[in-house]
Amino acid sequence: MMPEIIIHEVGPRDGLQVEPRVVPTDVKEAWIRALMASGVDLVQVGSFVHPGKVPQMADTDELFRRLADTPGPRAALSGLVLNEKGLERALACGVELVCMGVSASDTHSRKNTGMGSEEAQRRIIATALVAQAAGRKVQVSVQSAFGCGFEGRVPDQRVLDIVWAYVEAGLLNISLADTAGHAYPEQVQRLFTAAQGLGPVTWTAHFHDTYGMGMANVYAALGVGVGTFETSFAGLGGCPFTKVAAGNVATEDLVHGLQRAGRRMDIRNGALVDVARQVAAWFDREMPGRVHRTGPVGY
């Protein structure tokens, strides 16, 4: 039986973090509230990073304070944490799912966190365990799991070693992230299948569409039992610390495809399209997503 699909909207963080034009907090809040009410399962509000390094994320704490007590049925709120200080901030302002990760590329890890992969792995595991002890849900990831813009091919075993370290520590909600957009479907199936043999993990996939393979990779992962996908409104996004920053799979595109097959009909894709169009209008440029431009298939 194919798994139910969980949609984790990461546009407010991964979508916006690379943008040099800073979006005002009130505008972000309006977009996020619309996403929260759309029927998606999770919304990543921002990351707890130094504002000098990623100015777009300087208002993450304030956004969580505004959004955390929103009543009624809504998406859960997640936030990205890179280190111990970031976790302290996340715990103080109502983050429901704490996301953190380690890059399988040593070069990317140093550019992103100032630490090599081995040091980052030790610190992230320790930090994740603190978050769990504080009663928060935790997701850990392997970034650059399918390749690196600086180092090229990343050996599968390097990825699996990080996954095994998570599993040994009891961290069983794991994402494999295609930070550089190098993944291709056969690789996705091979790596997730190998990783699934390491323990009873809840798996998430995060794909960038740098080379046009994003949606194909989503369906490859779905075919081997992955049930959670991180996507971004309008296909916006990219890691500012990778060699070629390019957008994510567009949330509204994925939901449109799923709904054509009768899946996740509970999500109001019209609301997602509206947000994507607002984002495109605010930045005054064409976005990489498709459905917010073409409209959905009408039958």
Q: So which residues are the catalytic ones?
A: 239
Task: Give residue for tokens 């009624």.
Answer: 72
Backbone angles phi, psi at 38, to 5 degrees: -80, -20
Alpha carbons 226 and 220: distance in angstroms, whole number: 9
Burial (0-12, 13-18, 19+ Cβ within 10 Å), 55 = middle
Q: Where are the alpha helices (DSSP H) in 134-176?
A: 156-168
Q: Which residues of 209-248 are buried (b: 16+ CB within 10 A; e: fewer)?
A: bbeebbbbbbebbbebebebbbbbbbbbbbbebbeebbbb
> Residue 202 in 3-state DSSP?
strand
Return left, alpha or beta for 262; rule: phi > 0 is left, psi -120 to 50 is alpha, else beta.
left
DSSP 151: T
Alpha carbons 238 and 265: distance in angstroms, whole number: 28
Distance between the two ends of the chain, CA-based, in angstroms?
26
Q: Which among 92, 87, 89, 165 is positioned nearest to 132, based on CA atoms?
A: 87
Q: Which among 139, 133, 126 is positioned nearest to 202, based on CA atoms?
A: 139
- Residue 211 token pair: 């080379």
